[in-house]
Amino acid sequence: MRHLSADRGGDLHLARLIRSEKEVEGRYEEVWTLVEEDALDQWPAGPGAVVGRDAPRLDGYEKARGEARYTGDIRLPGLLESAVLRSPHARAKVRRIDLSKAAAAPGVFAAVGPGEVWGMDGEVHFESAAVAGVAAETLAQARAALELIEVEWEELEPLLDAAEAVARGSVLQESRRYERGDYERGLAQADAVVEAEYSTQTLNHNPLETHQCVCEWRGDSLDVYVSTQYIWGLRRDLAANLGLPQDKVRVVCEFMGGGFGAKNGVGNYITLAAELARRTHRPVRCALSRREENVVGGNRNATRQRVTAAARTDGTLTALGGEYTCALGWAGWLPPTAGPTQLLYACENVRTVEHGAQLNLPPMAAFRAPGFVEGTWSLECVLDKLAAQLGVDPLELRKRNYAHADPMDGRPFSSKSLMECYRRAGPHWARRHEVRARSDEVWKRGMGIASQIWYGGGGPPSYAWVRLGSDGRANVVTAMQDIGTGTRTAMAMIAAEELGLPLDRVEVQIGDSARGPFASISGGSSTLPSMGPAVRSAAADAARQVVELAAQRFDRPERTLSLRGGSIVCSDGGNWPLADITGLLENGQILGKGSRGPNPTGMRVLTFGLQLAEVAVDVGTGEVRVEKVVAIHDVGRVINPLGARSQIEGGIIQALGHTFSEHRLDDPHTGTVLTKTLDAYKLPTIADVPEIVCDLVDEPDAHLTNLGSKGLGEPPIVPTAAAIANAIRDATGADVTSLPITREEILRALREAEERQRERERVAAGAA
């Protein structure tokens, strides 16, 4: 298919530098971006020949058969293994360290100590900070050598309490304050004000594949095989750390086993492997063990939140407020925890403050919608309490405060189908009385809802090439990574659609900075909306060349020709197999190139959704069973509905872990992590998975480049915990306020609800 704007004429490839807004997980920056004119109209809404139809992963069999090559499968000649000596203390100094015995141990090729590698020094600020590393012939030899390192520690008092840290000014960045309207007046205007405290726990990403790399020097160039969400960012930052030109660093990530935000950048396991490789003239692997992953692999920071919601009797919000304290650990950044309160509803008076405590705990890292997961939990819970107090239907309350434009600055949304999500929720929501009626003495049933808002529009720059050979097959080439979401498959689908080819005639070459152009991060739900338009644009460039050749060969005007079903089709009924043109190429190749166009100026690009949860609560034991989750999301055009459902299911399953079982526990006195294994840190299993119903609005965003697609990696995890908590309240009257929702928390909330009930009865009896 081919949709070129009529007025573009011959200016298809005008290279320009454009200022464009780029956003990743709520952090906005203005970037200069080199783009070529984005001259493609969007495809019509609805399924095309390939796009919009279920496609299994192109690499599914490769992965299932163990043929896909992950970083852990890399076996280079002469490869050495490494092990890292880590601090047993949360805060300490290395007074003296002796590496000599380790360096002389059997099989050992090199040992490095504090100060010899970027990110590894003699002062440690959290448990398991790296202080020394050893490279040896085998992993066992490397680990044995660690035992021979002599260290004299000076232990220092760790700072572990977030509130205390904020009070003492130990913060990673200035507290972030936001206010619009007149918050105090908003409270005064309200008929009901609900104030409550919520908390969330520290969580570990625990991707199936731990952080790992293999580094190999080739002359003055470094090859890095690494599990990463951002090939080009890692290349840039590693080159800077090593003082190398970027083109001297090659980053390879063909397959990876997830990251969830924890693999966005350079870690000292990479700089360590690079240094050990430099010293030994051998390739060196450094791979975190599962235990190391559970301490230094990054985490979702714990929070304490005090939130306020105020409304008039009809449910119109008059004020929203929040004070959020984030326990960030030693490093990281302050995630947008107040984001949902600022953005989700059309409330005139909003006041938020976010604090980012710096503590002697392992550094936080972005984790699937960082900030918004925690902030949505409190906002959507407190709104439900408010709805109950006012006697307004919770769904109705959300509709009544619908934001038709960005509530922060009045900008129009590039697209927003949240109202359609609410409309589609209607029939499910109507079943709540019937669900409640199925309660018995022991098991109480209920239903809850929560809204979702998040970023996910992507941005420039991103580039792709498409190669069409004499066999009429297409090859998409771009140096992006597939974090595990199925990006590779989505890119093939987009190219196939544009070239009018069946999917099995498209290959995708990714994962190597030396073999393809710049590609953006797999983070912030931005991969598809960043990469997809570049791939489509490259495919369109190739398609245009085919059409030009066909016009000459078949003597038809170009505008009458298009590519469809592996053929060149003319509006006069002419139809030629693509091979009639490509077959003439012999060794010639049609090379298309494409880039991601700029984001729409003056518009806010966001994703939206709503989830409904159905639960059963055993009021005797506090056991909760989530029986069903309905997820209704608006992410613009859906490229692969099968892949999209898989993202939604994955997000909800991860959310169930965050809601009920996952919890990194730290020793409150020493700051060491107690949950280092997967039997202590409880990830959900298939037995925890409820019925999940996915419903995607699938309405292309008319303003968002040539695809109209937004990202879906993060949205599904955002509202689940609040929807479940609201369902628990609906079932039992209990207000749960802390994550994870343990049985103790349920029983506490049930007792509190009973006391409230008794108090009401006492008051009523007194009045009578």
Task: Say how far apart CA 709 and CA 4 lie, in whole Å.
Answer: 19
Q: Does 127 bind ligand MOS (CB under 6 A)?
A: no
Of 171-179, 257-265, 577-585, 738-746, the window that binds ligand MOS (rule: CB under 6 A) is: 257-265
Nearest C-alpha neighbor of 526 from the set 475, 487, 476, 478: 487
Smallest gap, in angstroms, from Cβ of residue 762 to ligand MOS? 48
In the list 129, 224, 366, 519, the residue contacting ligand MOS (rule: CB under 6 A) is 366
Residue nearest ligand MOS, Cβ-based: 261
Q: Does 370 bind ligand MOS (CB under 6 A)?
A: yes
Q: Token match 């016009």: residue?
A: 551
Of 114-122, 366-374, 378-386, 492-500, the window that binds ligand MOS (rule: CB under 6 A) is: 366-374
Nearer to ligand MOS, 259 or 448 (CB): 259
Tokens standing for residue 434:
């019937």
Smallest gap, in angstroms, from Cβ of residue 157 to ligand MOS? 32
Task: Say how far apart CA 706 and CA 38 lie, in whole Å.
Answer: 7
Smallest gap, in angstroms, from Cβ of residue 303 to ligand MOS? 16
Nearer to ligand MOS, 261 or 516 (CB): 261
* CA geometry: angle 8, 635, 723, nearest 5 deg: 165
What is the number of other CB atoms lying within 10 angstroms of the CB of residue 34?
13
B/e letters for 306-339, b = 16+ CB within 10 Å, e = fewer, are ebbbbbeeebbbbbbbbbbbbbbbbebbbbbbbb
Smallest gap, in angstroms, from Cβ of residue 719 to ligand MOS? 16
Q: Does 264 bind ligand MOS (CB under 6 A)?
A: yes
Nearer to ligand MOS, 368 or 633 (CB): 368
Of 355-363, 367-375, 582-590, 698-706, the window that binds ligand MOS (rule: CB under 6 A) is: 367-375
Smallest gap, in angstroms, from Cβ of residue 24 to ligand MOS? 7
Q: What is the DSSP string of 71-137?
A: GGG---TT-EEEEEEE-SSSSEEEEEEE-HHHHTSTTEEEEE-TTSBTTB-SEE-STT-EEEEEEES
Q: Does 25 bind ligand MOS (CB under 6 A)?
A: yes
713 CB-side CA count, 13 A: 31
Smallest gap, in angstroms, from Cβ of residue 35 to ligand MOS? 24
Query: What type of residue sits at position 323?
Result: E
In the list 125, 351, 368, 536, the residue contacting ligand MOS (rule: CB under 6 A) is 368
Smallest gap, in angstroms, from Cβ of residue 260 to ligand MOS? 6
Nearer to ligand MOS, 478 or 520 (CB): 520
Q: Are 419 and 413 in contact (CB under 8 A)?
A: no
Of 156-164, 256-264, 494-502, 632-640, the window that binds ligand MOS (rule: CB under 6 A) is: 256-264
Smallest gap, in angstroms, from Cβ of residue 86 to ligand MOS? 24
Q: Residues in contact with ligand MOS, total (CB under 6 A)? A: 13
Task: Say how far apart CA 553 and CA 459 lie, in whole Å.
Answer: 39
Smallest gap, in angstroms, from Cβ of residue 485 to ligand MOS? 10
CB burial of residue 766 (10 Å; 0-12, 13-18, 19+) = exposed
Q: Does 716 bind ligand MOS (CB under 6 A)?
A: no
Of 71-79, 361-369, 397-405, 429-437, the window that binds ligand MOS (rule: CB under 6 A) is: 361-369
Q: Does 523 bind ligand MOS (CB under 6 A)?
A: yes
Smallest gap, in angstroms, from Cβ of residue 263 to ligand MOS? 8
In the list 114, 315, 371, 524, the residue contacting ligand MOS (rule: CB under 6 A) is 524
Q: Tell me the angle at which helices 720-732 and 743-767 cross, rounded to the nearest 10 degrees.
A: 40
Of 102-110, 365-373, 395-403, 674-682, the window that binds ligand MOS (rule: CB under 6 A) is: 365-373
Of 44-52, 172-180, 362-370, 381-389, the window that binds ligand MOS (rule: CB under 6 A) is: 362-370
Nearest C-alpha neighbor of 750 from the set 737, 768, 763, 764: 737
Smallest gap, in angstroms, from Cβ of residue 366 to ligand MOS? 4
Smallest gap, in angstroms, from Cβ of residue 205 to ligand MOS? 9
Nearer to ligand MOS, 367 or 518 (CB): 367
Q: Token match 């290279």: residue?
A: 15
What is the number of other CB atoms lying within 10 angstroms of the CB of residue 559?
12
Span 55-74, contacts to ligand MOS by CB under 6 A: none
Nearer to ligand MOS, 113 or 609 (CB): 609
CB-based contacts of 104, cutoff 8 Å, min separation 6: none
C-alpha of 257 from chain center: 14
User: Site mask, ligand MOS, residues 193-212, x = CB under 6 A?
Assistant: --------------------
In the list 207, 261, 529, 532, the residue contacting ligand MOS (rule: CB under 6 A) is 261
Tokens standing for residue 142:
């490397």
φ, ψ dihedrals at 152, nearest 5°: -110, 120
Q: Does 456 bind ligand MOS (CB under 6 A)?
A: no
Q: Does 367 bind ligand MOS (CB under 6 A)?
A: yes
Q: Does 597 bind ligand MOS (CB under 6 A)?
A: no
Number of residues that this document lists for the chain: 768
* CA geometry: angle 718, 229, 639, nearest 5 deg: 65
Smallest gap, in angstroms, from Cβ of residue 481 to ligand MOS? 12
Of 258-266, 620-628, 655-663, 717-725, the window that binds ligand MOS (rule: CB under 6 A) is: 258-266
Torsion of CA 265, 270, 274, 279, to 10 degrees: 150
Nearest C-alpha neighbor of 228 from the set 185, 197, 261: 261
Task: Say how far apart CA 545 and CA 467 lie, in whole Å.
Answer: 11
Nearer to ligand MOS, 521 or 629 (CB): 521
Instruction: Using DSSP bridges, classify how beta strands 130-136 and 80-86 pair: parallel, antiparallel or unpaired.
Output: antiparallel
Tokens standing for residue 403:
């934001």
Of 105-113, 162-170, 244-252, 259-267, the window that binds ligand MOS (rule: CB under 6 A) is: 259-267
Nearer to ligand MOS, 25 or 127 (CB): 25
φ, ψ dihedrals at 8, nearest 5°: -80, -25
Tokens standing for residue 581:
């043109």
Task: Say how far apart CA 603 and CA 622 lie, in whole Å.
Answer: 46
Task: Say how far apart CA 273 and CA 675 lie, in whole Å.
Answer: 27
Task: Say how far apart CA 208 and CA 688 lie, in whole Å.
Answer: 18
Q: Does 532 bind ligand MOS (CB under 6 A)?
A: no
Nearer to ligand MOS, 415 or 654 (CB): 654
Span 694-713, contacts to ligand MOS by CB under 6 A: 713
Side by side, the strands of the sheet bearing 624-634 are: 443-454, 607-618, 624-634, 691-696
Tokens standing for residue 84:
């890292």
Q: Does 362 bind ligand MOS (CB under 6 A)?
A: no
Tokens standing for residue 463:
């580039």
Using CB under 6 A, list all residues that contact ligand MOS: 25, 229, 260-261, 264, 366-368, 370, 523-524, 713-714
